[in-house]
């Protein structure tokens, strides 16, 4: 091969290398842009999920709070309980008069 043909081939390779580098740089820019958009989308989605989670938590808390303020009953027979005695009656022992009953 002559020097001229080798030089021509070298120039073709050089041009091909430049085109390859340009395409590679363009690809890298596109990839970086995609990554940035993906990060933005991920952060937006994370914020939206956080907002939904807060709304759900608030709704649950609103449902629970009134129930926590209610007095909890220990038996299912709460409707037949006698009214609460005043503190004075609780402190004084009650004396029952059984003299009217038969001792048989």
Q: Residues 17-54: pLDDT tens digits?
A: 888 888 899 999 998 888 889 989 999 999 999 899 98
Q: Residues 64-99: pLDDT tens digits?
A: 766 565 554 455 555 555 556 555 655 655 556 566
Q: How many of the other CB atoms lie within 10 Å of CB of 84?
A: 8
d(CA 17, CA 24): 10
> Quick one: three-class SS letters along the chain?
CCHHHHHHHHHHHHHHHHHHHHHHHHHHHHHHHHHHHHHHHHHHHHHHHHHHHHHHHHHHHHHHHHHHHCCCCCCCCHHHCCCCCCHHHHHCCCCCCCCCCCCC
pTM: 0.39
Looking at residue 17, what is its pLDDT? 84
Looking at residue 52, what is its pLDDT? 92
């Amino acid at each position: 091969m002559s020097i001229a043909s080798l030089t021509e081939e070298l120039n073709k390779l050089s041009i091909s290398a430049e085109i390859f580098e340009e395409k590679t740089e363009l690809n890298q820019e596109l990839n970086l842009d995609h990554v940035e958009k993906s990060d933005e989308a991920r952060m937006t989605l994370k914020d939206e999920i956080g907002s939904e989670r807060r709304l759900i938590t608030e709704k649950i808390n609103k449902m629970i709070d009134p129930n926590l303020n209610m007095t909890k009953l220990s038996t299912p027979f709460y409707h037949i309980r006698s009214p609460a005695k005043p503190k004075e009656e609780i402190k004084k022992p009650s004396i029952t008069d059984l003299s009217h009953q038969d001792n048989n």
